[in-house]
């Protein structure tokens, strides 16, 4: 899998609860059991918990590039992330947020998922809100799109459903996804060209700036093949029934 996928992070641990999660058995140690052999390109954008996070990452990850570009008034998420992306040598990159949990999957299963992603030349695979967008060929979000003619997902693989980007049920482009590198590069350059500083409040400093731009992929990359996992392999604290560290 490490020849296909690099993990990229540009993040901050804002409070003790999230720090306790990342050092728990469901935190970075569980993630490393699945993705620990991949290359990781990480910017930790604060001094708070810096030594603790660097220690945890260094102990659990085999191939780590760790930077500390601080988030200040001049920090722009898209610019810094684009610089990090230049370090990625694999065809796919996983933009991973700190609250994702990997105790529902294994390295072998996730490797099989990435094999199917690569074999299908998938451009984008969102890994969040699977209970809404995945699990079956006709999930609730797809059913609700029937009024605008969206077809069901294509079921030709063991681990993923596929669909054309023009038929996406997703209302935005989530940064918390697996991208083909050229697709994420295009997205980051799009943000930069739009002048990320024009976004209200702190949006320009966070990956949410990508989501705030809406579902532009549907129009600009209509025939790109996308995917969604069939199984709830990655969970988050805002998924029903889950919370950090539990």
| Spatial distance between the Cα atoms of 64 and 118, rounded to a whole number of angstroms | 23
In tens, the pLDDT along 171-230 reads 889 999 999 999 999 999 998 888 644 554 555 777 778 887 889 999 999 999 999 999
236 lies in some domain: no
| Spatial distance between the Cα atoms of 148 and 213, rounded to a whole number of angstroms | 21
90 lies in some domain: yes
Mean pLDDT: which of 66-75, 112-121, 202-211, 214-223 is highest? 112-121
Based on the structure, what is the number of domains in the chain?
1
In tens, the pLDDT along 43-55 reads 999 999 999 999 9
| Spatial distance between the Cα atoms of 57 and 113, rounded to a whole number of angstroms | 24
CATH code of 17's domain: 3.90.550
pLDDT at 196: 47
Helices (runs of H) and strands (runs of E) counted in the chain = 10, 8
246 lies in some domain: no
pLDDT exceeds 80 at position 18: yes
pLDDT at 81: 95
H helix or E strand, kind and range, residue 111: helix 107-119
134 lies in some domain: yes
Which structural domain range is residue 176 located in?
A: 5-229
pLDDT exceeds 80 at position 148: no
207 lies in some domain: yes
Neighbours of 184 (CB within 10 A): 26
pLDDT exceeds 80 at position 131: yes
pLDDT at 150: 80
pLDDT at 138: 93
Which pair of tokens denotes residue 90?
């694999």
Secondary structure E strands in the chain: 5-11, 39-44, 63-67, 92-95, 124-126, 160-164, 177-180, 225-229
Per the prediction, the chain carries an average pLDDT of 90
């Amino acid at each position: 899998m490490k020849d296909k996928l690099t993990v990229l992070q540009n993040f901050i641990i804002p409070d003790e609860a999230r720090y306790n999660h990342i050092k728990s058995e469901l935190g970075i140690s569980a993630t490393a059991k699945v993705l620990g052999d991949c290359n990781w390109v990480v910017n930790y954008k604060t001094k708070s918990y810096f030594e603790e996070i660097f220690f945890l990452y260094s102990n659990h990850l085999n191939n780590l590039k760790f930077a500390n570009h601080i988030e200040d008034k001049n920090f722009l998420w898209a610019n810094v992330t684009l610089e990090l992306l230049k370090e990625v040598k694999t065809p796919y990159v996983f933009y991973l947020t700190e609250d994702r949990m990997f105790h529902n999957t294994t390295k072998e299963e996730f490797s099989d998922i990435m094999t199917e992603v690569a074999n299908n030349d998938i451009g984008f695979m969102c890994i969040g809100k699977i209970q809404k967008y995945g699990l079956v060929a006709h999930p609730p979000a797809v059913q609700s799109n029937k009024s605008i003619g969206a077809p069901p997902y294509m079921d030709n693989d063991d681990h993923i459903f596929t669909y054309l980007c023009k038929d996406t049920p997703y209302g935005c482009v989530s940064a918390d996804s697996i991208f083909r590198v050229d697709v994420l590069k295009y997205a980051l350059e799009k943000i930069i060209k739009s002048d990320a500083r024009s976004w209200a409040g702190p949006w320009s400093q966070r990956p949410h700036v990508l989501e705030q731009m809406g579902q532009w992929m549907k129009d600009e990359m209509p025939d790109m093949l996308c995917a969604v996992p069939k199984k709830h392999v990655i969970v988050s604290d805002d998924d029903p029934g889950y919370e950090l560290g539990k």
